[in-house]
């Protein structure tokens, strides 16, 4: 599987914006998984997570706090009317819907261009049938039910490809230094 941003496709222009839209958030039932979904979006190359369903300031606070501490300019917001927003977005952007009913990602990922702003949509409660038609790509990560976090991580890793974290997550208070056996961090907060 070729990463779209591997050497033969690196372009000078910054790559188009990638958003992740979380449909149908339930404040009590989905608290942790939605929080992890936003952190996964950030860590695997998305520029923004859009929360919809029940409003949940704690999720927004978590995402902003991690961005403040670990750097980068990841954005997050609440959208009260996600399908209206997505219909407008789809007029110029690429809509990718992750669903266990979709095309196998290994076969499809190389055919999804990263040449326009894109929104990756994951569900929570019942996903509206309209989404399957509105999406440019309905993509499955296997055809078994599992989790939006797992699906998003696998898809973004295969579609966006490797990130240069030192370039992407700049300006944070904390920088993790990968280590074989210890927890090593660089603390920039005093700089
Ligand atoms: N109850 C929702 C429904 O019936 O539409 C789906 C619940 S599922 C746990 C939540 C989300 O995880 C799905 O909307 C989909 O985005 C994602 N997901 C779960 N399994 C997946 C798979 N095998 N491939 C792609 N996405 C998957």
Q: What residue spans define the domains of the chain?
A: 18-187
Mean of per-residue pLDDT scores for the chain: 93
Please list the helix, strand and coil fractions of the chain in percent, rounded to the nearest 5, in that order. Answer: 35, 25, 40
CA dihedral for 120, 106, 11, 66, sign (positive or negative): positive
Confidence grade of residue 6 (pLDDT, cut at 50, 70, 90):
very low
Taking only the tens place, the pLDDT of each residue in 8-61 is 544 456 899 999 999 999 999 999 999 999 999 999 999 999 999 999 999 999
Smallest CA-to-CA distance from 41 within 188, 168, 185 is with: 168
**pLDDT for the residue numbered 2:** 44
Confidence grade of residue 189 (pLDDT, cut at 50, 70, 90):
confident
> Ligand 1 pocket: which of 99, 120, 147, 154 to mutate (most atoms <8 Å of CB)?
99
Domain 18-187 CATH class label? alpha beta
Measured in Å, residue 174 CA sits from the centre of ligand 1 at: 33
Taking only the tens place, the pLDDT of each residue in 163-177 is 999 999 999 999 999
Smallest CA-to-CA distance from 149 within 46, 16, 27 is with: 46
The set of protein residues with a Cβ atom below 6 angstroms from ligand 1 is: 98-100, 122-123, 125-127, 140-142, 144-148, 151
């Amino acid at each position: 599987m070729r990463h779209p941003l591997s050497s033969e496709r690196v372009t000078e222009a910054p790559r188009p914006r990638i958003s992740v839209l979380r449909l149908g958030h339930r404040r009590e039932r989905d608290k942790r998984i939605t929080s992890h979904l936003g952190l996964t979006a950030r860590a695997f190359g998305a520029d923004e997570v859009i929360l919809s369903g029940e409003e949940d300031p704690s999720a927004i606070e978590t995402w902003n706090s991690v961005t403040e501490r670990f750097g980068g300019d990841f954005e997050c917001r609440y959208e009260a009317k996600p399908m209206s927003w997505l219909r407008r977005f789809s007029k110029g952007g690429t809509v990718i819907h992750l669903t266990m009913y979709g095309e196998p990602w290994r076969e499809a990922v190389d055919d999804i261009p990263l040449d326009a702003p894109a929104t990756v949509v994951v569900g929570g409660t019942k996903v509206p049938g309209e989404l399957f038609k509105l999406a440019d790509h309905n993509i499955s990560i296997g055809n078994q039910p599992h989790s939006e976090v797992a699906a998003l991580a696998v898809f973004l890793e295969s579609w966006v490809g490797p990130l240069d974290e030192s370039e992407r997550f700049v300006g944070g208070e904390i920088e993790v230094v990968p280590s074989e056996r210890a927890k090593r961090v660089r603390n920039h907060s005093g700089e």
